[in-house]
Structure 1
Amino acid sequence: MTIISSQIVINIDEEKVLADIGYNGNCGPPARMRTLVHEYARNATQLINPAYTHVIRNIDFVVGRTVYIEGGSTFKSHVISGLLKNCEQVAVFALTIDSYLEEAASQLADDGLVVQARVLDAIGSNAVEQVAEHIHKMITATASIQGLVTSQRFSPGYCDWNIVQQEMLFRTMNGSSSFIKMTDRYLMIPQKSISGIMGIGTREDDVANYNPCKTCERQGCAGRR
């Protein structure tokens, strides 16, 4: 089921937006940049139209790096199988803030207003992450009522979970994610969209606290948690 929700309150974190566009550490933003971010953040809400869907599926069994999901889907990843082998269910979700904001940012860039376009793009990234956090809390609250815990969110393209598995993830949702399209390179349209999974189970240490980054030796990884 697709939910178009105006009830998700988006409060743009202006400090995170500034950090996203390069102002962090010892490099503080000039006053005019703070003003620009503040004005765009205040007005961007009219360009944000959150929509999301999620399904809960039983995990049939796990063999090696392959997870067999109720309905015939398979997820193939050592990181994902390491999580889901300790879970009874998996939540599969997709969400977006729609395309209005990215279209506005594209128009700004076409008009030569590159800085403004970059600011608006960063605001969109902050907004879609807030929608993802809303969905995470909602799924976690539902699981908690049943005495279950949830994991962090994981998306195709993270660690060893190949981006081509995006197609399998969407198939698992049985068409309920029709408000998001997928390109032949498995990218999502609108671009300000997130898809992924959350494990659901009973074991706090193996589910809620599961973090493959703690044992990963890869250096300089932008996705490290």
Structure 2
Amino acid sequence: MRHVSLPAVSPVMDESRIRAALGGELSLMPQDAARLGHLRQRVQTLTAPAGRVAFAEIRRKAEDRIVLEDEAVLSGTGVHALLRRAETAALFVVTLGPGPEEAIRAATAAGQLRDAVLLDALASEAVEDLARAAQRFVQELAAREGRAATRRFSPGYCDWPLEAQRVLDGLVRFEDAGVILHPSCILEPEKTITAVMGIGPVGSLGRTISARPACAACPRQATCPGPENE
């Protein structure tokens, strides 16, 4: 099994994505525009991006599970659909570090609730930026090897339970990126994303790569908040 530290990335925190994420009652108010720029800079300052990816060979495949080297098992029809034609699984963790969450808690404790909402939206988008960068890293690495890579798929989506975090932790070693996995499978820092991708020959993967197979048959696909629905 091969481990690689992900290169440091400065999150962009695109305002259009933040507006979409806030939506409804929490949509941006006119007075938020200038404040958002200030808070974006603050999140940038507080962020300590870290990430790590593990590459594990796929040994066996069953209808609802994928068996990796060292006999690690990824269970679920969604993850099986994603990896069913792949040869290698790329599993990663990315995190902002504790700084943004500490700022959110401080703003809440001080009664600065609007700032707390905006900081949370910015930090959530910032960690998504890191996950997108990790996905590109894996895709570009696969391309250099003459192979292709799937989209990312995270525990907690489709039928892949949060308990799968334990398997990912055993393979990726979250602590090496400064992330703690609690017994409840909650991650600390909270602004952390884990995911799996598949890597394999371009020809044999075919439409499995571009059609997002993990989501194709899901009844929640129209309303799913996950990155596969971007």
TM over 0.5: same fold?
Answer: yes
- State the secondary structure of the residue aligned to 2:91: strand
Aligned residue pair count:
222
Q: Distance in 2 between matches of 1:170 and 1:105?
A: 26
Q: Deviations over 1:140-165 (max 9, x none)?
A: 11100111111111111110001111
Note the C-alpha offset of 1:174. 4.6
Q: Does 1:222 align with 2:225?
A: yes
8 Å CA contact retained: 1:4, 1:50: no
2:170 matches 1:167 = no
Deviates more, 1:10-19 or 1:178-187: 10-19
- The code of the aligned residue for 2:110 comes to D
Cα deviation code 1:171-222 (max 9, x no counterpart): 1125664511011210100000001100111213113433333322346443
Matching residue within 195, 198, 213 for 2:215: 213
Aligned-pair CA distance for 1:2:
6.8
Per mean C-alpha deviation after superposition, the further-off stretch among 192-201 and 34-43 is: 34-43
**Do 1:2 and 1:51's aligned partners in 2 also have CA atoms closer than 8 Å?**
no
- Contact 1:92–1:169 (8 Å) recurs in 2: yes
Residue 57 (structure 1) aligns with: 56
Of all paired residues, the percent bearing the same amino acid is: 24
Specify every segment of 5 or more residues in structure 1 that has no aligned partner in the other structure, as ranges: none
Aligned residues: CA RMSD: 2.2
Structure 2 Cα separation of the partners of residues 222 and 8 of structure 1: 23
* Structure 2: stretches of 5+ with no match in the other structure: none
Contact 2:6 2:134 in 1 (8 A): no
1:58–1:176: structure 2 CA closer, same or farther, 3 Å change rule?
A: farther
After TM superposition, the structure 1 = structure 2 runs for residues 98-177 of structure 1, keeping only pairs within 5 Å, are 98-174=97-173, 177=176
Q: Give the distance between the partners of 1:32 and 1:138, measured in 2 at CA.
A: 37
Are 1:204 and 2:203 an aligned pair? no
Letter in structure 2 aligned against 1:222: P
Q: Given that residues 18 and 37 in structure 1 are in contact (C-alpha distance below 8 angstroms), is that contact kept between their aligned partners in structure 2?
A: no
Q: TM-score, normalised by structure 2?
A: 0.88
Secondary structure of the structure 2 residue equivalent to 1:163: coil
Against the structure 1 CA distance between its residues 156 and 23, is the aligned structure 2 distance closer, same or farther, given a 3 Å change threshold? same
Please identify which structure carries the higher helix content.
2
Distance 2:38 2:174 in 1: 38
Deviations 1:119-151 (A, max 9, x none): 001110111111111111111111001111111
Match of 1:74 in 2: 73
Residue 117 of structure 1 deviates from its aligned partner by 0.5
Question: Is the Cα–Cα contact under 8 Å of residues 153 and 196 in structure 1 kept in the other structure?
Answer: yes
Q: Does 1:30 align with 2:29?
A: yes
For residues 104 and 97 of structure 2, the distance between their equivalents in structure 1, rounded to whole angstroms, comes to: 13
Match of 1:193 in 2: 192
* d(CA) in 1 for partners of 2:117, 2:110: 13
Secondary structure, counterpart of 2:81 in structure 1: helix
Task: Tell me the distance in 1 between the aligned counterparts of 2:119 and 2:183.
Answer: 27
Q: Deviations over 1:19-76 (max 9, x none)?
A: 322269xx97432111211221123211111000001110001112111001121000
1-structure distance, mates of 2:197, 2:52: 13
